[in-house]
Amino acid sequence: MDQTTPDEHAVVPFLRAGPPPDRTRWEGWQQWRKIRGTFVAAPRLTPAEHQSLSPRRRALHDLHRTATHVNMRLQETPMSARVANLMRGRLQNNAVKFMPGTRDGLMINGGGFQGKTETACDAAASFEDVWREVHHQLLPGPTPGTRDVFVPVAYCRLPVRATPKGLCKAILNVYGNPHPGTLDDLVRAVRDAIRDHHTTALLIDDITRLRLHREDDQDTLDLIRELMDLNVTLILIGVDIPGSGLLRGAYVDQRTGQWVFPDHGRGGRHHAATATQTGRRFDMVDLDPFDYSTPAGITAFLDHLAGIEDQLRLLRSFEGMLTSGETPEYLFGRTRGIVGLLRRLIEDGCTEAILTGEERLTPELLAKTTIHLGNLDDLDPGAGEVPDIPQVTVPPAKPRRRRGRNTVLDDRGNRPAAGD
């Protein structure tokens, strides 16, 4: 007779079925949008409670703890809040404009692994959550026999070697549309897809892969500007946009503080008649790493560490494990305040803590942990997408306790003479 308890055969709820969602396809974006923030962390157990589990349950719990550490929720920082608020405001303002013409875009600038993509995608998904609640008031019902897919947000990545054709194909892949053979037909198909699917926001990641010393890159940038005529808000995401050459030919409007790209056009085959003769305008916002040189910056970093600490499920963790003593300064030195590097260090450190039985994070344990950036095949080091990892691995030296002085021969003062 099977003596196994009922939940022994239950489906493990914290494991993913199938590959992760591909946000560059509308189906994958919808899957990610709906499940984001729904992961259920492992329960907190004491060492005694953990030891009392059966070997199988203990192994499952350890796997759940590992899943918890690598699926920590996206934490808002003062830097990401500034970016997200500006982006959500821009999307909402542009979405409710009635007049035709270009929509002001947004450029999100920052270093590699600083959370630009996740911040932008989360802000876009939050906007879509609201926009989908009201879209039935703006759109007719489904038409039988047609493919009516509402795609308010489209996210794609610029190919490593950017060309107008490559960008068009990346955008069409979002909708699952076929690729026409000629560039003119590709551009026409992109414009039709954005209109037909009522796309309000178009996010183009890795924009600084455009080098602009090649004619294809310059034509690709011109095509991106022309897409602003489609009543769509362009969100361009890239590493070191000011230093990439992407802003060449643009200027800052002193009245609005926005970057303006003049509508002169290069006359390429894809260049279509624009709806207006106004410049293409972008705001640029920086997503910076944490700053450890000011009281406000230190406080923000400590708050972030406290949020991470609250999500950890190490058996010997304690309040202040990441925020007290020399640990915050050590973590900042290892990561330079870059949230992506900090996340990887904590993930790998937790794995090491579980495997060794240490079950807590200390500078000494983290000093033995190498920061692994994972699969970098889809990143372009030449565009700054792979950050330099600080080589600081030595834990902070603990202050040596001063040895007490031998006081045996000290004069104690007026002691009574022997025999008194």
pLDDT, tens digit, 9 for 90 and up, residues 160-189: 888 999 999 999 999 999 999 999 999 999
Q: What band does 274 get if pLDDT is binned at 50, 70 and 90?
A: very low
Q: What's the predicted TM-score (pTM) here?
A: 0.82
Q: Kindly report the number of other CB atoms within 10 A of residue 315's CB atom.
A: 20
76: left (phi over 0), alpha (psi -120 to 50) or beta: beta
238 contacts 208 by C-beta, under 8 angstroms: yes
The per-residue pLDDT for 69 is 96
User: What is the helix (H) or strand (E) element at residue 122, kind and residue range?
Assistant: helix 116-134
| b/e code 239-269 from CB counts within 10 Å (16+ = b) | bebeebebbeebeeeeeeebbbbebeeeebe
Q: What is the pLDDT of residues 65-84, one digit of tens each?
A: 999 999 999 899 999 999 99
Alpha carbon separation from 414 to 406, 408, 409, 411, 417 (Å, rounded): 20, 16, 15, 9, 9
Q: What is the pLDDT of residues 7-48, one digit of tens each?
A: 444 446 777 778 889 999 999 999 999 999 899 999 999 999
Average pLDDT, the chain: 84
Q: What is the pLDDT of residues 346-378, one digit of tens each?
A: 999 999 999 999 999 999 999 999 887 765 556
Domain 78-286 has CATH 3.40.50.300: yes
Please list the residue range(s) of the chain that carry CATH number 3.40.50.300. 78-286
289 vs 210, higher pLDDT: 289
311 vs 280, higher pLDDT: 311
Listing from the earlier edge strand, what are the strands of the sheet with 233-239? 153-157, 201-205, 233-239, 105-110, 280-286, 259-261, 251-252
Helix/strand/coil percentages in the chain, nearest 5: 40, 10, 50
324 vs 258, higher pLDDT: 324
Q: Kindly report the number of other CB atoms within 10 A of residue 282's CB atom.
A: 22
Dihedral over Cα of 354, 360, 361, 365: its sign? negative
Looking at the predicted structure, is the pLDDT value of residue 294 above 80?
Answer: yes
Q: Which residues contact 360 (CB under 8 A, 6 or more apart)?
A: 314, 316, 317, 318, 321, 353
**Which residue, chain included where needed, has tokens 């969602």?**
21
Main-chain phi, psi angles of 266, to 5 degrees = -105, 0
Looking at the predicted structure, is the pLDDT value of residue 406 above 90?
Answer: no
Lowest mean pLDDT, pick from 376-380, 406-410, 416-420: 416-420
Q: Which of 217, 191, 170 is nearest to 179 (CA)?
A: 170
Q: Which of 278, 362, 256 is nearest to 318 (CA)?
A: 362
End-to-end CA distance of the chain: 90
